[in-house]
Structure 1
Amino acid sequence: MGFAFFFFVAWLVIAGFTLMKKRLTLVENTVLLLLILIINIHWSWIIFEELKLIKISKQPVNYTAFLIQRSVTIPLIVVITMNLMRQSASRLRTLLMASLSVLLLEAFVLIGRYFGITRAVRWHMIYDVAYFALLHVIAYYFLKYFQHSGQGRSEAERA
Structure 2
Amino acid sequence: MAFASFFFAAWFITTAFLMMPKKLSIIENTFVFMVILIININWGWIVYESMERIELTEEGMIYTAFLLLRSVIIPVILITQLNLVHKSNMIFVVLVSLIILLFLSSLSAILNIADYVKWNLGFDAIYYLLLHVIAYYSLLLIRKIADREVTYT
Q: In the TM superposition, what is the alpha-carbon distance from 1:151 to its structure 2 partner?
A: 5.2
- State the SS of the aligned residue for 1:52: coil
Distance in 2 between residues matched to 1:103 and 1:152, nearest whole Å: 36
Pick the aligned partner of 1:103 from 99, 102, 118.
Answer: 99
TM-score (norm 2): 0.94
Contact residue 98 and residue 136 of structure 1 kept, 8 A:
yes
Q: Which amino acid aligns with 2:141?
A: Y
Superposed counterparts of 1:140-155, under 5 Å: 140-150=136-146
The equivalent residue for 2:23 is: 23
TM-score (norm 1): 0.90
Between the two proteins, what is the percent identity of the paired residues?
37
The equivalent residue for 1:9 is: 9
Give the superposed CA RMSD.
1.7
Contact residue 2 and residue 65 of structure 2 kept, 8 A:
yes
**Aligned CA distance change for structure 1 residues 135 and 153 (closer, same or farther; 3 Å):** farther
Q: In the TM superposition, what is the alpha-carbon distance from 1:62 to its structure 2 partner?
A: 0.7
Q: Which amino acid aligns with 2:123?
A: Y
Unaligned runs of 5+ in 2: none
Unaligned runs of 5+ in 1: none
Distance in 1 between residues matched to 2:101 and 2:27, nearest whole Å: 25
Distance in 2 between residues matched to 1:118 and 1:145, nearest whole Å: 34
> Which range moved further: 140-149 or 43-52?
140-149
